[in-house]
Amino acid sequence: MAEAAGSGGVVKHLVLARFKEEATPGALDQLIRRYAGLVDAVPSMKTFHWGTDVTVLDTHEGFTHVFESTFESAEGVKEYIAHPSHVEFVDEFLALAEKMLIMDYKQAATN
């Protein structure tokens, strides 16, 4: 069985989201731009990517968006979570989100 990397190393931060019906396309666009802007505001956040669900199977459980951020370490994720720019952004995100799932992971080696 594959094992995850040790305590050091790159960490991916995933957020799956379903937004409220009243969240307009304009509001979502602005929210995503703010999310992407955290790369410049939070030193430990190295990359940001996002997309919408294209699953052909009905397995998405209503989640429509996925957001992925990269950090150099688990400590970097902790710094991101506590950073004032992130804390402020979370309030905006939660105002539009109906449901979300968050997971941090390290890529596992497959030998």
Catalytic residues: 80, 83
Beta-strand pair 3-4/108-109 = antiparallel
Copy the structure tokens of residue 65: 């968006």
How far is residue 54's CA from residue 69's CA, in Å, rounded to a whole number?
A: 20
CA distance readout (Å), 102 to 22, 24, 56, 98, 109 = 22, 23, 22, 14, 22
CB of 17 closer than 8 Å to CB of 64? yes
Copy the structure tokens of residue 20: 């409220």
